[in-house]
Every structure is written in structure tokens, then in C-alpha cells.
Structure 1
Amino acid sequence: MKAIFLMGPISSGKGTQADILAKKFGFFHFETSRFLVAQLSKPEFAKQKEQYDAGQWVDPNWVAEIVQEEIKKIIDQRWGLVFSGSPRTVDEIMKLLPFFEERIGKENLLFFNVNLSEGESIKRSISRRICRANGHPFPNFPEFQNMIVCPEDGSELIRKSLDQPELVSRRYQEHLSRTVPVFDFLKKQGYSILEVNGEQSIENVSRDIMKHLDFAQNEATSTVNP
């Protein structure tokens, strides 16, 4: 079992890269926001829904509880997990790390920081689209500009209501103040943070991520030397 954590600011391409890894290696793409939205429809989580709808980050301890419970349901069904939305805060990683180390093993956890400037984050966010049915991401790159429906599920491509410049800027600043400290915490626990330049093309970001995956290198070697 492997677990890959793709961390970075809004529109850094975490979801796109997680989808690539999931398809290529059979990983389960754990998209935290999707699980949270399902919970936010429940009346008892009205406060969290209000925060989410305002573009704010919800209580990290609540997020950690949701993540942990959902992971328990799928951890024995796949040989790998890839995360595109967790952990986002020190509180969240402090609660989740012991669980992941016990169930998956410290040596099998990989943490990536997909770097992106604030200007590029805003530029991408206000022009990106997602599919209505499943939220598959489509950045405003040339290869997607003429796309009308999602090739995965055939649903309409729409813009997210939260992708407004002021909200994106606020979320970027929250990333700096709340997620960047997660990297320092992980380093103190003996983990390496694998840095990736998120301002490249999708293909080049994927290539740089693959360089750090031993099983990806093994697959490439076996392909060259059957």
C-alpha cells in the first residue's frame, strides 16, 4: 500500500495530477472536497456548510474525522491512495499521521508540494472549469479550450461559484499561513517534502512527480526491457 499526498495552493493542478496517477497505477483518488460536500448536506453540519459556501476552510479536526472514517472503508480495496485535498493544516496532519503510519507505514507515505504563484493561482482559478456530474477539473489550457462536455462522463462543463479573484486570493493566503506550516511539521517527523514546479504543463508536472515514484520507475524499466 502506498499513499501519495499532493499538496499545493488552489489551481496548482493537484486534482488533475491525482487523476493521472489513479488511472495509471490503479490508485484511489481521495478527493477530500467531494467527501466533505456529501457530509455538508446534512443539517447537523450547517455551520461547516456556511464556512464552505463562503470560501473559508472548515474545522480541520472535523475534516480529519471525515477523512479517517472514509479511508477505513476503502483502505483494503486498493493498493494505493492519492490525496488532492488533505492534509491542509497542522491540526489535520497531527490527527491523521498516526493513523496513516499505523495502517500504511511511514516508508509508504509520500508528500509533494506543487508550487504555484498567487498570480498564476488566480489566473487559473477564474478561467478553469469542472464537469457538473463529478467535478473533473479542466484548466484553461489549449488542449481543453474547445471542450464542451466532460470526456469522462459526458456532463456539462461549468465554472465553480467560488472561483472569484477575491476568494481565490483569500484561499491562497490561507494556504501560506495554514498549509505551508504542515511541511515544517512533516520535516520534523522525518519526512522529505518533494518539490514540484506547478507552473509547467500538465505533462511536465506529471513527469516530475513520476521521477519520485520508485514503482513508476520500475514500470518504465520493465517497459524498456521486457
Structure 2
Amino acid sequence: MKHYDALIFMGIQGSGKGTQARLLADEFGYSILEAGKILREEAASGSSLGKKIDEIIHGKGELVPDEITKELVKNFLNDIQEGTPVIFDAYPRTLVQLHDLEEILKEHNIANYRVVYFTLTDDEAMKRLLSRRECESCKAPTSDSAEEACKKCGGTLVRRKDDEPEKIQKRLAWSHKETQPVVDAYEEKGVLIVVDGNESIDQVYEELKQKLA
């Protein structure tokens, strides 16, 4: 597979971009910036900003303002070792965030990148999201409904607060409206790669590596 300074993974929730990011990171040494994770970690921190984020995500089921996400993304990149390749998981999701990320990439002299868009039907997304859980203690995710405890720490597995049917449907509708223009913009730039996210994890990973070769 060719080396890229950055990869941007896009797709509706449940499309498997997080799973594919972890597989690629394990094999090729990428650091993963998971937008949802850094927001949840800040929300759980107890800080004034964290409390605000928690109310937006869990109380209202809405999306965090772009300026907050931008600052957390900048903090993440400033904290990792210079020269480490990065996968941006679920960021950017709007045209505003696209422009924010372009500024951030320029600041870090990152020009060699590709955007991977994982396609998925809404029905399959709903099915996957309703089955996924996370560890109450270490927050490790799982989509295996047969698991009774966290494989990492033995903690209790619970459904994420924002994975309720109505909130999921709201996020999917928003994604189609706001994210598609971002996909179109990257296609115009000539950096977009499309991967079928409806297939099995192994099949998706093989297609991903082939298209990045």
C-alpha cells in the first residue's frame, strides 16, 4: 500500500470506518483521530467544555458546533509525534469542517492525503448501530451482540446513550444532507476513493487496501 501522510475516512454511522481505521493503524502504524471519541472523552472529563458537549450529544442528541471540534482536532495533532501518519475518522462532516481541516493540514505541512468514503444503506446502518455497545469502564466498542463482557477489561457492556432509534434516524438524515456536499467536494479535488461498506469486515479491508495501493 502507498504511504499517505493522512487518510480521511467518511461514511454514515455504522459504515465500519472506525473498524477499518483500527485495522489499517495496526498494520501500517497510523494514529487515529476519531472525532466522536475525542468529543466523548471531553464530555466525560467533567470540564466546563465537557459538560456543554455532554448536554449537546446526550441531552439533545445534536451535533457539537464546528469551532469546538476544530479546537479538539488541533489539540490532538499537537499532542502526537511529528511525522506520524494520521487517519481522520468521521472528520470533516460539513463543508465548514472541510475548510477547517484544510487550514489544520496546511499548518502541519500535510499535503499527501486521500479520502475514503464507505457506502452503506440506511437499513444496514440502523441494524448495526442498534447492536453495537461499549464498555462502561474503558469505553472499548463492540458490535458482537453475543459478548457478555468487555474483552479488554471485563467491564459491563452497555448501549451508547446516543444509539436510540430516533436519535440514530436524526443523525442519518443530517448526514445525508450535510456530508454529501463534502464527499462531492473531495471528488472534485480528485482525492476520493469509494469502498463498499455493506460487505464483511475482511472483504471491506481487502478492497480498501487494493484501492489505496
TM-score > 0.5 by shorter chain:
yes
Instruction: Give the match for residue 49 of structure 1.
Output: 54
1:91 aligns with 2:96: yes
> Secondary structure of 1:11's partner?
coil
User: Are the structure 2 counterparts of residues 104 and 148 from structure 1 closer, same or farther at C-alpha, using a change threshold of 3 Å?
Assistant: farther
Q: Is the 8 A contact 1:27 1:79 kept in 2?
A: yes
User: Are the structure 2 counterparts of residues 69 and 178 from structure 1 closer, same or farther at C-alpha, using a change threshold of 3 Å?
Assistant: same
User: Are the structure 2 counterparts of residues 204 and 36 from structure 1 closer, same or farther at C-alpha, using a change threshold of 3 Å?
Assistant: same
Instruction: Give the match for residue 117 of structure 2.
Output: 113
Q: Which runs of 5+ in 1 are unaligned?
A: 215-226
Q: How does 1:3-152 map to 2 (within 5 A)?
A: 3-40=6-43, 41-44=46-49, 46-53=51-58, 54-76=60-82, 79-106=84-111, 108-139=112-143, 144-152=144-152
- Residues 13-49 of structure 1: CA deviation (Å, up to 9, x unaligned): 1111111111111211212222212333322454433
Q: Is the 8 A contact 2:130 2:164 kept in 1?
A: yes
How many angstroms apart in 2 are the aligned matches of 1:134 and 1:113? 29
Q: Is the 8 A contact 2:10 2:115 kept in 1?
A: yes
How many angstroms apart in 2 are the aligned matches of 1:150 and 1:207? 27
Q: Is the 8 A contact 2:131 2:145 kept in 1?
A: no
Question: What RMSD in Å do the two structures reach over aligned CA positions?
Answer: 2.0
- Percent of aligned pairs sharing the same letter: 28
How many angstroms apart in 2 are the aligned matches of 1:45 and 1:127? 27
> Secondary structure of 2:147's partner?
coil
> Secondary structure of 1:82's partner?
strand
How many angstroms apart in 1 are the aligned matches of 2:9 and 2:138? 19
> Secondary structure of 2:211's partner?
coil
- Residues 173-223 of structure 1: CA deviation (Å, up to 9, x unaligned): 1111111111122234x2321111111101111111111223xxxxxxxxx
> Secondary structure of 1:62's partner?
helix
Range with bigger deviation, 32-41 or 65-74: 32-41
Deviation at 1:3, TM superposition (A): 1.1
User: Are the structure 2 counterparts of residues 45 and 152 from structure 1 closer, same or farther at C-alpha, using a change threshold of 3 Å?
Assistant: closer
Deviation at 1:111, TM superposition (A): 0.6
Instruction: Give the match for residue 181 of structure 1.
Output: 181
State the number of aligned residues. 207
User: Are the structure 2 counterparts of residues 45 and 155 from structure 1 closer, same or farther at C-alpha, using a change threshold of 3 Å?
Assistant: closer
Q: Which runs of 5+ in 2 are unaligned?
A: none
How many angstroms apart in 2 are the aligned matches of 1:59 and 1:197? 30
Q: Is the 8 A contact 2:132 2:142 kept in 1?
A: yes
TM norm structure 1: 0.82
How many angstroms apart in 1 are the aligned matches of 2:36 and 2:95? 18
1:155 aligns with 2:155: yes
TM norm structure 2: 0.87
> Secondary structure of 1:38's partner?
helix
